[in-house]
Amino acid sequence: MRRIILLAALLFSGISLNARNMENELTPRRQGLAVIAALEAKGDQNGLEKAIADALDNGLTISEAKEALSQLYAYTGFPRSLNALGTLQRVLAKRAAEGIQDIPGKDADPLPADYDALKQGTAVQTRLSGQPFNYSFVPATDYYLKAHLFGDIFARNNLDYADREIVTVSAISALPGCEPQLVAHVSGARNMGVTDAELRALPALLEEKVGLEEAERLRGALSTVLGDQHTPVQTVDFSIWPKGQPNTAYAQFFTGNSYLAPLDGGIANVTFEPGCRNNWHIHHKQVQVLICVAGRGWYQEWGKPAVQLVPGTIIEIPEGAKHWHGAAADSWMQHLTFHKDVQEGASNEWLEPVSDEQYQKVPTL
């Protein structure tokens, strides 16, 4: 008999990149700006360190990197901006010690003595928004937006307006709960010279370099603004349970893409993309244990109703039971797996795939 145990201790609070197309639509320099901005907003200093080095290798100047991370204090706050600038400083010092000569770049030109930040900022904000914008609810904030953000910061010409909006869109993609602002800036980016092709290339870049959640958030915003077809999916955080490497050794027994991360003690973490499932199969002379740790999915024995997998669900699969397991159609899923009660001559018998008709009969979670 199958035993399903909900284990409270395992509860958590909380695709793939087409490189050729992305290279055609986002220059390496702008790819670097986007990844740096998203990792700054996410607060991932380890990832940011590598991204900064990659961006510098691809021609981003020191001045441009400083400018992007400085601008972001207006969107992500001084703590994240200063942390990221500190990471940039350490990366530059390390590279200099290794004899790497990065491009200093040009600083912003001085502004004229009679420069009117409020007037210019109002014009820039109107262009970005597509219409005049007045935040009369808090006049002081309205002034800061116009005179400081769009007047002072956007006037610095070591990044152009399109660069700045790529930075902003990428950063807000990494900020949960800021979807209305993300939609507004996706729309505004188009008004500031970012092409639709560049915007559409960003989610794949963020998925590869930053995370699934950030890419999914941006895909939703692009769907709202551009009208692209998009079915929302639940993501998982690979910083908690590792994604691992493509499960190529067993790919022939899976529908969709799966990934394998071996852990200690004979345990493995298996990651399923949305809709991915393994074939019907049988474990002979051994009991397989599944522990769902992230996302949502399904387990089903032959002739029995499917059982949902959510974080904390444990399944003990009886020896000899024909079964399958995999992700829900609209969610990634991760489960730990190991075998117990292993007898001499234990083996796995792989059978036919779970057909689309069988899979679609599984109820929606």
129 located within any domain: no
Q: Do 258 and 335 belong together in one domain?
A: yes
171 located within any domain: yes
Instruction: Pick the last residue of a domain from 175, 191, 226.
Output: 226
Q: Do 180 and 327 belong together in one domain?
A: no
Q: What is the domain count for the chain?
A: 2
Percent with pLDDT over 70 in the chain:
93
**Position 59 pLDDT exceeds 70:** yes
Confidence (pLDDT) at 96: 98
Confidence (pLDDT) at 24: 55
pLDDT band at 8 (very low <50, low <70, confident <90, very high): very low
Q: Do 191 and 305 belong together in one domain?
A: no
Instruction: Pick the last residue of a domain from 226, 254, 285.
Output: 226
332 located within any domain: yes
Please check whether residue 72 is in contact with residue 170, taking contact to mean a CB–CB distance below 8 angstroms.
no
Tracing tokens 């699934």 back to the chain, one arrives at 212
Confidence (pLDDT) at 63: 98
Coil vs helix vs strand at 5: strand
Q: Do 99 and 198 belong together in one domain?
A: yes
Q: Do 65 and 162 belong together in one domain?
A: yes
pLDDT band at 7 (very low <50, low <70, confident <90, very high): very low
118-156: pLDDT as tens digits: 999 999 999 999 999 999 999 999 999 999 999 999 999
To the nearest 10°, report the CA torsion of 120, 125, 128, 132. Answer: -110
Instruction: Pick the last residue of a domain from 194, 226, 258.
Output: 226
Q: How far apart are CA 15 and CA 246, in angstroms?
A: 13
- Look up residue 118 and give its two tokens: 């409020």
Task: Give the list of residues 6+ apart from residue 72 with CB closer than 8 angstroms, or none.
Answer: 37, 40, 41, 80, 81, 84, 167, 168, 171
pTM: 0.82
Tracing tokens 């599944």 back to the chain, one arrives at 290
15-39: pLDDT as tens digits: 343 444 455 589 999 999 999 999 9
328 located within any domain: yes
271 located within any domain: yes
* 350-354 CB contacts, 8 Å cutoff, 24+ apart: 350/253, 350/279, 350/281, 351/279, 351/280, 351/281, 351/282, 351/322, 352/279, 352/280, 353/255, 353/279, 353/280, 354/255, 354/277, 354/278, 354/279, 354/280, 354/324, 354/326
Task: Give the list of residues 6+ apart from residue 306 with CB closer than 8 angstroms, or none.
Answer: 298, 299, 300, 362, 363
Name the burial class of residue 311, with classes exposed (0-12), middle (13-18) and buried (19+) by CB atoms within 10 angstroms of its CB.
buried
Q: Do 247 and 340 belong together in one domain?
A: yes
In 257-356, at which residue ranges do the beta strands (DSSP E only) sit?
258-262, 268-272, 277-278, 281-284, 287-295, 297-301, 307-309, 313-317, 323-327, 333-340, 347-350
Percent with pLDDT over 90 in the chain:
91
Q: Do 310 and 253 belong together in one domain?
A: yes
In the chain, at which residue ranges do the beta strands (DSSP E only) sit?
3-6, 245-246, 254-255, 258-262, 268-272, 277-278, 281-284, 287-295, 297-301, 307-309, 313-317, 323-327, 333-340, 347-350
181-240: pLDDT as tens digits: 999 999 999 999 999 999 999 999 999 999 999 999 999 999 999 999 898 999 999 989
Please check whether residue 234 is in contact with residue 331, taking contact to mean a CB–CB distance below 8 angstroms.
yes
What DSSP line would sit under 296-323, residue for residue? -EEEEETTS--EEE-TTEEEEEPTT--E
Confidence (pLDDT) at 239: 87
Q: Do 207 and 243 belong together in one domain?
A: no
Q: Do 246 and 162 belong together in one domain?
A: no
149 located within any domain: no
- Give residue 277's domain range: 239-360
- How many residues are present in the chain? 365
264-293: pLDDT as tens digits: 999 999 999 999 999 999 999 999 999 999
**Position 341 pLDDT exceeds 90:** yes
**Position 13 pLDDT exceeds 50:** no
120 located within any domain: no
Q: Looking at residue 286, which CATH number applies to its domain?
A: 2.60.120.10
Which DSSP letter does residue 110 get? P
Q: Do 195 and 257 belong together in one domain?
A: no
